[in-house]
Structure 1
Amino acid sequence: MHIEIPSNLPTNSTLPERKYDVFLSFRGKDTRKNFTGHLYSALDQKGIFTFKDNHRLEKGKVILLELFKAIEESRFALVVFSENYAFSTWCLDELVKIWECMKVMGQIVLPVFYNVSPSDVRNQTGSFEKAFAEHEQNFREDVEKVQRWRVAMTKIANLSGWHLQNREESKIIKGIVDEISCKLGPTFLNTNGNLVGMESRMKQMDPLLGMGLNDVRMLGICGMGGIGKTTFARSVFDKISYQFDGSSFLANVREVSMTQDLVALQQQLISQILIERNINIWDVYGGSIEIRRRLRHKRVLVILDDVDQLEQLQALAGMHDWFGLGSRVIITTRDKHLLVSHGVDNVHMVDELSHEEALQLFCWKAFRKGHPTDGYLELSLQMVSYDAGLPLALEVLGSFLFGRSKAEWKDALDRLKKVPDRTIFDILKISYDGLQELEKKIFLDVACFFKGRDKDEIREILDSCDFHPDIGISVLIDKCIITLSNNSLCMHDLIQYMGREIVRQECPEKPGQRSRLWLSDDIQRLLTKNEGTEAVEGIILDFPAYKELKLNAKSFSRMNSLRLLKIKDASLCQSLQYLSDELRLLNWHGYPLRSLPSNFQHNKLFELNMCYSHIKQLWKGVEHLNQLTIINLSHSTYLTETPDFTGASNLKRLIFDGCTSLSFVHPSIGLLKKLILLNLKDCKQLRSLRAKIEWESLEVLILSGCSKLGKLPEDLGRAVSLKNLDLGGTAISQPPFSIVLLKNLEQLSFHGCKGEPRKFWSSLSSLFRLFSRANPESMGLRKVQFPLILASYHH
């Protein structure tokens, strides 16, 4: 029957640092080849460091002194009392030393009674009486020695322990091992730096583990590279592994799979759990069968670290029923979809460290303590801001800066802003290397140009480039490379640095031979010195460093792969002869010429954005522009007329706000069935909109400030989706009869109409009354909408 260890004995937290977990005291001739041998193997299998016999003793040392030292350096002492135990003076000397260590050092002592009665041991009767009779005869001149042996034996035999009583040895051994494992508890590798932030993560993980439940669970630990998944998994392993029949931590599954094969990992898994060296597996299929056959009745803990392929999971932890009840399988990966595909029960997403945690981890590496050295606080905060809570970066850079001067710190920080640390870069780039080609293109576009932008807006641009962004963005999110926040595409700063460094390395010395450019200096050099090549796919300059760029028009002549162009206030030394036919985005704020190049093929263009341009006319005749969705020429004061939109049937947004010279809008504008927004605000020369209306999708029509516009299209009511109609500041005095058909209209504004607002309002009211008499069934709708329209009326 198992006897509980007294709860008042010292626990692991109160013991001094020891070399051994357990000192095993036994009589070799009685138990070495059976009970004690099996007990030692079970302890060793659990990772409990056990001293047994003198096989660990250093040669040339006095054996008894070394034994005593080993006892002192052990947290536990296991004493196996057997029939001939007391006949050994070595065992009795060990016993006295163990008793002293228990009294003085708080050592935990556990007696095991192997085929002997505890009362015989306590009272020295039976075989123990015979043994002590011999000792008293042999040590007549040292009676005190024998007495010390007797006292120690009596005291230790009175402690709670285990009595076999002809019970099954394997169950007793399991009970002993479990009890010691529980008392030892988790053993962490390092309490100074590696485990910063681990306590909060453990609290989140505990409910997912469900250690009190007897089910089989597969759990995922997921996050970007360098976020600390492996360290976290190690901590979980150290904390709970002692509670299982066997455990295995398979590190670097991705890397091992590349250098070896899955058979080697299958062999390692079984070997670690069963403590067997000669595991013969011939192929992956046979290995899967072997894992299930050997482990399906065992309660095991399996950690599969850094998995990146579904076949790895299928080979190592294919199904829940491969493992016994109570088992836990934990998988770390950068790919959330991989976990979903395998059917894990729960996924824990690992977040970046908080600012306080990041500073603490960095300081442990940079100063070997939890806070900055005097004078280094500001530099430390700058470095932590750069690392943005990524444990990998904090550890690498902290270790690199240890012992260096402030000048070296400042220089290192300046260098990092230009070129990422190689170790960090290589680890983060693993995620990039695992992407398909189109996914790589999407990632580089977001990293270089679109971080923080609205997902739907960027999806349209990427779709126009034939990048299939719906699946591509989803994959990047699953692989923890990008994230979504309020529908914006986000990524960790170091991931962005990594992406931009990939582009820079395409040609470090010559920007014109890189695929993407975003820095003012690089773009200025490219466009003024005619260094562009066919390698350039994107030029986006959101924040120019120069008030005005004076471009060499020939700079674009060799950039025939250019997809994306966004520049601002750039003048040209001569006329522009060429723009790439591959352009999807053309955003040139302040475009200085009256027209686009005559040979420019617009057919792949998705967005044309040329605010404050000198454009007078976009194109002549009908151009087939099926990809074109947005035209924004606001404040282009030289524009006199819009082009024929017949070949641009997919336009959704047209913005001519502030085009003060615009006097003619081509009638084909009314045929744009997908148009959502039409903004003609302050087009002061516009007198009419002569168009047959087929605006099925139009929601916003802004005509405010068109001071010479006196009439709306008679069939405006066909714009059935119209919600916002702004007629303020126009010359319109009579609304068309069809306006009453705008059943979705939410806001109508005619503030400042030159055509007498009261007359307009009176006409509108008359139309509504007339319509309601002819269509009484619609009155309920009008009673709701009429106040909304009234609310927008301004005197």
Structure 2
Amino acid sequence: MHYFYFILCQKKPSRRDQVLFLLLPLLFHCFCLFKFLSSFLLHAYMALQPLSSSSTRPSGFKYDVLLICGVGGTEDEEDVRELTDLLYGYLGPAELRTFRFTFTDHEAILEELIQISRMAIVVISNNFASSSYCLDNLSNILDYFDANGRLRQLLPVFHHVDPDDVAKGVHLKSFKDDHVDRLQLQKWTLALQQLANLPDHFHFGLEDEYYGGEIFEKALAKVISDDFKPLRVQDNLVGMVSRVAKVIKLLDLQSGGGVHMVGITGIVGIGKTTLAREVLNLIADQFEVVCFLRNVSNDINLCRISRRHDHYDRFLYFIPGKDEECVRFIYFFEAIKDICSRLCEKKVLLIVDDVDKLKQLQTLANITDWFSPGSRIITTSRDKHLLVSHGIERIYEVSDLNDEEALDLLTWTVFKDKIAPSECKEGLNYAVTLASGLPLSLIELGSHLCELSMLEWKYYLRSWKESPDETIQAVLELSLDGLVAMEKNIFLDIACCFKGYPLVEVQHILRAHYRECVTDYISALVSKFLINISSSGELTLHEWMRNMGKEIVRRKSSRMPCVSSRLWILEDIRQVLEDCTGTHKIRTICLDLSSTEEGTISWDGKGFKNMENLKTLIIKNVHFSEAPKYLPSSLRVLDWQSYPSQYLPPNFYPGNLSICKLPKCCFVSSEICGLLNKKPVNLDNLSFDNGEHSSNEMVYVSCLPNSREMTVMVSE
């Protein structure tokens, strides 16, 4: 700048100065261009280089487990090899890429092996410390894992040798007597102490059996907990190890032919997405490209193209071995199109989360030919039938946590530790019972308990039992999305009234109630894990699903029994009948007390008068002070055990009645004839008996259009 100022200030610059004045800007621009190009080429070169072994995020592991057999002599060589064969037999079928290495193998490859393995299992034998060669290799292994902060990925197995003796250096006595170099001996001693003091290790004595399965689960847990995690999941994934292993086995990663699809299904809140994420984290580096399409059920319907911008979906595009990951927000159908164009001929791991439409699966099927053989597609869905109908044969159904797993998860959520204070165990066990093995409820419950004192636990758990948590309720209600109106109504009927009833009986009741066959609707509810059918043919459902259904009915009626569509609680029914507050909104009353309970309703018999839309009335094990003076003619199902009279109300017209069961009643034959004379044209199930003295008579009811053979049990 000073030179330019000098030139400009001269009155008559020389010819040399004029040339310099013209050349200097050109030289300056050339210098800037050179600097830019050199910087660009340097960055391009660095981008093409593989990650170093000291990278903070290890990737590109060739092996999941390095199984090292440390044999110091020939005396125990056979036993140690038997143990390593056993471990290899567990690790191989679980799709954990395992390499077996013996210290007698070539030493030069050991350093490379430990760099390309996620974790190492080191089997230490009784004579291990008698070999300087084995001790040197062990020191090298520990140095590498320690230098890279991965000591937790080391799992020692002590075979016929006490870890305490190893830590004390008892087995190095012979080297001390041989006057081995002091520094070398100190290095061996520190290595053995470090190995023996690792928190996770296994010890097999002379009389102990080999627990290969336990070692396998511990190894898998360490592989899963490795730092290489493209997708984040919560800490302390209780019960996840065995579930991950089963999904990986279904993926059949060692089979390179074709593109396989695996489905993960189960109830809402059971951990399907978490499981899929953990599987991805474990096997991501075996693929060229990893894609995760999250929560596609909230995306647009694929049968139409919408440009709404309030339902975005996350598409994770990750290439293992690179420093960066490209995260973009796109629609599901755009994601599929993008995958086809970008990932053609690539070995791809694609996870599609929360599929709820067949169109989505059909779209996935159309792109499998684009991927390289060995690619895998994992889909999660609440609808098992959806996966089956698409032809996905490999399906893993996620089950509830057992009591032990549930207690571990709750304890960790509350105390951030595996061990709870002794004074809390009773409260935790009760909370586990309330959560019913659902991870969602355990985590939500634990997040509240950790903020409360022990004195507050009792009151909070009581309120939790009486009123479902709003957060859990909102998540569970997502499972009702996409149901047709009839499916939702049938689910609410079963949740409120028919848990534990035989399937066949419920089908008859609901068919009469809705005047429609309900078999397909019930099957749809089963496939969506809203209800279940036990091995004995009874309808069951998860306790949280049942509570969710009841809460929907209560909320819709503003918790006022008189306007509720369904009544099933003794106190609510007693209030409505004794106070005569029933309305046209009541459609089902099911008061079925167990034989150990006693219920009494003291009324004037007029409680049903205003229930002109009541269709189903089921009463069992309840004593009424008087017989009903009125029954709605809208009734389609009448099942009243110990009906308190010999006669039905004279103003009752049974034209809509399909099922009439009055067990343990005191009816007489003349009353049956009177009922039939009123021509109940829809009646197809008629049963009377007094419970003690009855006879079976097969009768034909010729006056009824739907007449059929019916068993009528009448008192003698």
- Per the alignment, residue 245 of structure 2 pairs with 203
- Per the alignment, residue 224 of structure 1 pairs with 267
Q: Secondary structure at the match of 1:220?
A: strand
Alpha carbons of 1:280 and 1:401: their partners in 2 closer, same or farther (altered >3 Å)? Answer: closer
Instruction: Tell me the alpha carbon deviations over residues 666-687 of structure 1, each in whole angstroms, 9 at most, x when there is no partner.
Output: xxxxxx4x44x5656xx54xxx
Return 460-469 or 187-196, whichever deviates more. 187-196
Alpha carbons of 1:431 and 1:208: their partners in 2 closer, same or farther (altered >3 Å)? Answer: same
In 2, Cα distance between equivalents of 1:480 and 1:562? 29
Match of 2:672 among 618, 622, 645: 618
Match of 2:553 among 493, 503, 506: 503
What letter is aligned with 2:147? G
Match runs of 1:189-268 below 5 Å: 193-214=235-256, 215-257=258-300
Whether contact under 8 Å (2:292, 2:352) holds in the other structure is yes
Q: Secondary structure at the match of 2:677?
A: coil
In 2, Cα distance between equivalents of 1:513 and 1:291? 53
- Residues 1:553 and 2:605 are matched in the alignment: yes
Deviation at 1:340, TM superposition (A): 2.2
What letter is aligned with 1:404? L
Match runs of 1:129-168 below 5 Å: none
- Per the alignment, residue 519 of structure 2 pairs with 470
What letter is aligned with 1:251? R
TM-score with structure 1 setting the length: 0.58
Instruction: Tell me the alpha carbon deviations over residues 743-792 of structure 1, each in whole angstroms, 9 at most, x when there is no partner.
Output: xxxxxxxxxxxxxxxxxxxxxxxxxxxxxxxxxxxxxxxxxxxxxxxxxx
Deviation at 1:190, TM superposition (A): 8.7
Whether contact under 8 Å (1:554, 1:576) holds in the other structure is yes
Deviation at 1:615, TM superposition (A): 3.3
What letter is aligned with 2:629? L
Whether contact under 8 Å (1:529, 1:552) holds in the other structure is no
- Per the alignment, residue 631 of structure 1 pairs with 686
Match runs of 1:650-661 below 5 Å: none
- Residues 1:388 and 2:430 are matched in the alignment: no
Q: Secondary structure at the match of 2:353?
A: strand
Return 617-626 or 418-427, whichever deviates more. 617-626
In 2, Cα distance between equivalents of 1:48 and 1:438? 52
Return 305-314 or 390-399, whichever deviates more. 305-314
Q: Secondary structure at the match of 1:221?
A: strand
Match of 1:306 among 315, 339, 354: 354
Whether contact under 8 Å (1:220, 1:346) holds in the other structure is yes
Instruction: Tell me the alpha carbon deviations over residues 637-693 of structure 1, each in whole angstroms, 9 at most, x when there is no partner.
Output: 999999983345757xxxxxxxxxxxxxxxxxxxx4x44x5656xx54xxxxxxxxx
Note the aligned Cα RMSD (angstroms): 4.2
What letter is aligned with 1:477? V
In 2, Cα distance between equivalents of 1:531 and 1:499? 24
What letter is aligned with 2:663? C
Deviation at 1:31, TM superposition (A): 6.9
Match of 2:629 among 576, 586, 595: 576
In 1, Cα distance between equivalents of 2:679 and 2:498? 28
In 1, Cα distance between equivalents of 2:44 and 2:232? 37
Whether contact under 8 Å (1:367, 1:403) holds in the other structure is no
Whether contact under 8 Å (2:530, 2:545) holds in the other structure is yes
Instruction: Tell me the alpha carbon deviations over residues 556-606 of structure 1, each in whole angstroms, 9 at most, x when there is no partner.
Output: 1111121211224443657613x2233222122232233223332323323
Instruction: Tell me the alpha carbon deviations over residues 491-550 of structure 1, each in whole angstroms, 9 at most, x when there is no partner.
Output: 101100111111111224421111111111111101100111111111111118654312
- Residues 1:525 and 2:578 are matched in the alignment: no
What letter is aligned with 1:609? K
In 2, Cα distance between equivalents of 1:611 and 1:364? 52
Match of 2:538 among 488, 502, 505: 488
Segments of structure 1 that go 5 or more residues without pairing to the other structure are: 1-27, 51-74, 78-98, 110-180, 652-671, 685-795
- Per the alignment, residue 646 of structure 1 pairs with 702
In 1, Cα distance between equivalents of 2:571 and 2:653? 29
What letter is aligned with 2:249? P
- Per the alignment, residue 35 of structure 1 pairs with 45
What letter is aligned with 1:480? F
Q: Secondary structure at the match of 2:429?
A: helix
Whether contact under 8 Å (1:483, 1:491) holds in the other structure is yes
In 1, Cα distance between equivalents of 2:53 and 2:431? 45
In 2, Cα distance between equivalents of 1:463 and 1:45? 65
- Residues 1:516 and 2:547 are matched in the alignment: no
What letter is aligned with 1:576? K
In 1, Cα distance between equivalents of 2:54 and 2:297? 29
Q: Secondary structure at the match of 1:247?
A: strand
- Per the alignment, residue 399 of structure 2 pairs with 351
In 1, Cα distance between equivalents of 2:492 and 2:333? 39
In 2, Cα distance between equivalents of 1:518 and 1:104? 63
Whether contact under 8 Å (1:615, 1:639) holds in the other structure is no
Q: Secondary structure at the match of 2:423?
A: coil
In 2, Cα distance between equivalents of 1:286 and 1:239? 27
In 2, Cα distance between equivalents of 1:513 and 1:333? 36
Instruction: Tell me the alpha carbon deviations over residues 289-334 of structure 1, each in whole angstroms, 9 at most, x when there is no partner.
Output: 5432432301011111122222333445644213221111111110
- Per the alignment, residue 604 of structure 1 pairs with 656
In 1, Cα distance between equivalents of 2:512 and 2:662? 19
In 2, Cα distance between equivalents of 1:320 and 1:223? 25
Alpha carbons of 1:427 and 1:618: their partners in 2 closer, same or farther (altered >3 Å)? Answer: same
Alpha carbons of 1:284 and 1:441: their partners in 2 closer, same or farther (altered >3 Å)? Answer: closer
In 2, Cα distance between equivalents of 1:449 and 1:332? 31
Return 536-545 or 483-492, whichever deviates more. 536-545
Deviation at 1:423, TM superposition (A): 1.0
Instruction: Tell me the alpha carbon deviations over residues 353-384 of structure 1, each in whole angstroms, 9 at most, x when there is no partner.
Output: 11111111111112222233221111111111
Alpha carbons of 1:555 and 1:456: their partners in 2 closer, same or farther (altered >3 Å)? Answer: same
Whether contact under 8 Å (2:512, 2:659) holds in the other structure is no
Whether contact under 8 Å (2:354, 2:380) holds in the other structure is yes
Deviation at 1:406, TM superposition (A): 2.9
In 2, Cα distance between equivalents of 1:183 and 1:575? 66
In 1, Cα distance between equivalents of 2:384 and 2:295? 17
Q: Secondary structure at the match of 1:420?
A: coil
Alpha carbons of 1:304 and 1:317: their partners in 2 closer, same or farther (altered >3 Å)? Answer: farther
Q: Between Structure 1 and Structure 2, how many residues are aligned?
A: 514
- Per the alignment, residue 469 of structure 2 pairs with 421
Instruction: Tell me the alpha carbon deviations over residues 241-262 of structure 1, each in whole angstroms, 9 at most, x when there is no partner.
Output: 1111011222222234489969
Alpha carbons of 1:575 and 1:441: their partners in 2 closer, same or farther (altered >3 Å)? Answer: closer
In 2, Cα distance between equivalents of 1:451 and 1:183? 41
Q: Find the structure with the greater CA-based Rg.
A: 1
- Residues 1:430 and 2:485 are matched in the alignment: no
Match of 1:106 among 143, 147, 155: 147
